[in-house]
Amino acid sequence: MVLMLLVALPVCGFAQEIATSKEKAINELLEVTGAKQVGIQMGMAINQSLAASLKVQNPNIPPRALEILGEETQTMMTENVDALFASIVPVYAEFFTEKEIRDMLAFYETPTGKKTIATMPQILNKSMMIGQQWGQSLVPQLVTNLERRFKEEGIKVD
């Protein structure tokens, strides 16, 4: 118990050590970069995944149930995104000085910075799709390797 408290104390102390001006700069950076919108979009990706799972589990699920899932996911993500970013502020504070945060803000005011912000969702989306396809392409070989290793070591998996 004492060990847990000792481990937690530095985290609690760190969160309180962020200067108000630095915290404001980090929040501004999150706003300028559209990070909150990306968080909400991630929630909608989760919604799509949940909807797909529900359709597999229940092929006759009423379309209205999927609409409700979307509405509830959107509401929950929108209402809770600020709490997520309150947790992220200390991460930025850990890795960047206030000057570096302000330098990033200045960059995002430039034409290249604005283009970066505008195109980043598409870049991330395409990159994620490429990553998923890449990962899926490795699955057959991974399954083969696992089956071989399990057989070599006498492990039976149903």
* Per-residue pLDDT tens over the stretch 11-67: 444 445 788 999 999 999 999 998 877 777 777 788 888 888 889 999 999 999 999
* Pair (145, 99) in one structural domain: no
E strand or H helix at 106: helix 98-108
* DSSP letter, residue 60: T
Contact 83, 98 (CB under 8 A): no
Residues of the domain holding 57: 7-109
Both 94 and 155 in one domain: the answer is no
Structural tokens at position 114: 């604005």
CA distance 144 to 148: 6
77 and 20 assigned to the same domain: yes
Please tell me the pTM assigned to this model: 0.63
Identify whether residues 137 and 99 lie together within a single domain: no
Q: How many domains does the chain have?
A: 2
Rounded mean pLDDT, 130-158? 93
Answer yes or no: is 1 within a domain. no
